[in-house]
């Protein structure tokens, strides 16, 4: 083999290999950082009876991850009373960047189609799909209380309607305009509609992912 050709080939490949290695390392770092964010979220849910101060581990994790999470606190549309979805957005952004770095670190290339596919997949996994399942589960519980009546049922229904009441009203206006239907039929229609919408969205997502992944640019 020609030594000059070998050296020139090695020199041309070295920068690419270095960038791929750096990308892989950064992807691993972001993966660890995402894990720390999940730990921080879980620890905020745990309250030990009689504990007056914040868990020391949660405190130190907050020093690391809270500055990043605070970037997304301004998205007021994702914050409703006790429900705060902004950490999911923060994790979704990290997931997109991490996946891009991992792809480049593995294949040494990254196309616009791959980026679009990653963004779509991440939005679905971190936001759209969880919201679908959240609504479907709440509607399922709501339907259960339509069949199981008890002294406390009205309290549970009131609590659930504070979360899905807007959805039930929308379904009423969309599918049964100017028509009186009973509570059970409305909840069943809403549940079937959201399950069908979830399945349809999954099919559309799969098509879009295949389309963008196969793009050559």
Dihedral pair phi/psi, residue 157, rounded to 5°: -65, -40
Q: What is the pLDDT of residue 198?
A: 95
Cβ contact 165:139 at 8 Å = no
Number of domains forming the structure of the chain: 1
Q: What is the SS3 string spanning 16-72?
A: HHHHHHHHHHHHHHHHHHHHHHHHHHHHHHCCCCCCCCCCHHHHHHHHHHHHHHHHH
Domain that holds residue 50: 3-213
CB 69 within 8 A of CB 90: yes
Looking at residue 78, the DSSP 8-state letter turns out to be G
Q: Which pLDDT tens digits describe the chain residue by residue (217 residues)?
A: 444 443 444 344 455 678 778 888 888 888 898 888 888 877 776 655 555 566 677 778 888 888 888 888 877 666 665 667 788 888 888 888 888 888 777 777 777 888 888 888 888 887 788 889 988 998 998 888 888 777 777 777 777 777 788 888 888 888 888 888 888 898 899 999 999 999 999 999 999 988 888 877 7
Q: Is residue 65 within 8 Å of residue 37, measured between CB atoms?
A: yes
CA-based nearest residue to 72, from 89, 55, 57: 89
Which residues fall within 8 angstroms of residue 21, CB to CB, at 6 or more apart?
A: 105
């Amino acid at each position: 083999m020609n030594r000059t050709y070998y050296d020139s080939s090695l020199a041309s490949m070295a920068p690419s290999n270095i960038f791929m290695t750096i990308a892989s390392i950064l992807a691993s770092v972001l993966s660890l950082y995402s894990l720390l964010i999940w730990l921080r979220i879980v620890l905020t849910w745990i309250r030990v009876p009689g504990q007056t101060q914040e868990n020391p581990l949660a405190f130190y994790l907050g020093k690391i991850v809270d500055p990043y999470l605070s970037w997304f606190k301004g998205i007021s549309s994702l914050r409703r009373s006790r429900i705060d979805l902004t950490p999911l957005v923060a994790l979704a952004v990290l997931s997109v960047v991490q996946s891009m770095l991992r792809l480049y670190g593995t294949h040494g290339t990254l196309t616009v189609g791959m980026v679009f596919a990653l963004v779509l997949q991440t939005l679905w996994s971190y936001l759209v799909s969880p919201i679908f399942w959240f609504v479907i589960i709440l509607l399922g519980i709501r339907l259960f209380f339509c069949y199981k009546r008890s002294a406390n049922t009205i309290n549970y229904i009131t609590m659930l309607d504070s979360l899905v009441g807007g959805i039930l009203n929308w379904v009423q206006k969309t599918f049964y305009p100017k028509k009186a239907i009973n509570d059970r039929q409305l909840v069943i229609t809403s549940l079937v509609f959201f399950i069908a919408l979830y399945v349809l969205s999954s099919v559309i997502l799969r098509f879009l992912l295949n389309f963008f992944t196969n793009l050559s640019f």
